[in-house]
Amino acid sequence: MPNYASPGVRADEYNGGGLPGTASGNRQIPQNIEAEQSVLAACMLNPDAIDEVASKLTPESFFRPAHQTIFRSMLELHARNIPIDQLSLAENLRANGQLEAVGGASYLVDLADNTFALTNWVTHTDIVKRQAVLRDLIYASSQIKALAYDAPDDLDQVVETAEKTLFNVTEQRVSSSFKSLNDLLTDAFDEITKLAEQKSHLAGVPTGFADVDNLFHGWRGGDLIILAARPGVGKTSLALNIATNAAKAGYPVTFFSLEMSASQLVQRILCAEAHISLEKVRGGFLGESDWQQLADAITRLSNCELYIDDTPSLSILEARAKARRELRDKDKGLIVVDYLQLMSPPQTRKDGNRAVEVGEISRGLKVLAKEMNMPVLSLSQLSRAVEQRGKSKRPMLSDLRESGSIEQDADIVMFIDRSMDEMEAESDERPELGTANLIVAKHRNGATRDITLSWSAENTAFGDYVDGSRYDDII
């Protein structure tokens, strides 16, 4: 097939941009047609691909004009929430009078037959992006060289034009997000006014726990919250309690579970909501009153927007793509990851250095929080240093397992600390049985302190801790 340059860029212009002393006319313009075909095939075969691809590529990123047209048509279908397949794509191209220009329906069939694209489309997307930037750099260099040969007398104008030409290329990698102070002041005043007028004084997603919400006033968009604990203490249970409470309050929640299956999580949610024993449910020993409580719980939860994904070895790229797809029409919500250390690092970071890999994952979760403008609650393991601390097993920031960057990336770091048996609870330094300390060890925008919660091992549920001295405050 013939080679085509990007729109507005001629092959001779690329050839004229070679390095001094090289036979630039004999060098191939950067391109990878097979990678382009693979990316387009993935968008037709994998519904999750288009969000990730669209975040990295534009139609002009493709070298072949036919591929530019096909991808532009895919974006049109996606914007209209129409599934992308060879039939819908062919119909959309035909309606625009472009089907024959891209090679006809037969070319779309050939693309869709490339099932190999499903295995490595993320890497192929990066290849297409890289080739596009290289082509634009070559074109920019040819323009700058021509400008230097035909330079006007004003040297400052030459340099400014050259900088602008190069900036147009680098802008593809680094997009500006600067906002003027005037705009930011207006936004801040509007937010403060809204907070003052609302009755609940919760500016973000509620956790459903009175003392926690009084401290944070709701979790805000862009926040990365880390919840860590020793094994078996209940970090998954607390995350499920928070997710359920947020969903019941009207916030959509996506829950990525890399350790437990969706059915196991739903059983825990039902037991916590119905206040019945998880052991009785799993053993099938339910009494008549239990069935009624279970039915009432199902009724209360049936309209909640809580989505569970139990894909094992989920990568940060997959999580971002799935969250974008599930929550793209939402202006608020909560994303939960259980748990951070089980996520797969980016392919480029699988170098055997676990601290580096975990650091990449935590940074990816922070990017996800800012990108979606939603809080991300991620569970994390603790190192074995806690177990070796004698009677006082109180967790601290240095106990976060495998990477200090988790602490750096997080806006809030919390630990759950509770006694695991009666002997442990007898120590003055340990929480009483039936209670747990939620230790807020880092709070980027506020105070840190310990919060006492109640704990029911029977139905794996945390709750507000109430004693006689503060009963009126809780209710």
Rounded to whole angstroms, how far apart are CA atoms 380 and 395?
12
Give me the DSSP letters along 364-415.
HHHHHHHHHTS-EEEEEEB-GGGTTSTT-----GGGBSS-THHHHH-SEEEE
Q: Encoding tokens for residue 72?
A: 């532009």
How crowded is the C-beta side of 197, counted as CA atoms within 13 Å? 6
Is 259 one of the catalytic residues? yes
User: Would you call 205 helix, strand, or coil by DSSP?
Assistant: strand
Judge contact between 16 and 43, C-beta under 8 A: no
Judge contact between 369 and 222, C-beta under 8 A: yes
Q: Collect all residues with Cβ–Cβ distance below 8 Å to 63 and sequence separation of at least 6.
A: 3, 4, 5, 6, 29, 31, 32, 33, 36, 131, 132, 135
User: Would you call 463 helix, strand, or coil by DSSP?
Assistant: strand
Alpha-carbon dihedral 63, 68, 69, 71, rounded to 10 degrees = 140
User: Would you call 89 helix, strand, or coil by DSSP?
Assistant: helix
Q: Which of 13, 60, 91, 259 is catalytic?
A: 259
User: Would you call 472 helix, strand, or coil by DSSP?
Assistant: helix
Judge contact between 431 and 419, C-beta under 8 A: yes
DSSP 334: E
Rounded to whole angstroms, how far apart are CA atoms 73 and 92?
7
* Number of other CB atoms surrounding residue 415 within 10 Å: 26
461-464 and 450-456 beta bridge pairing: antiparallel
Rounded to whole angstroms, how far apart are CA atoms 369 and 377?
9
Write out the catalytic residue numbers. Answer: 259
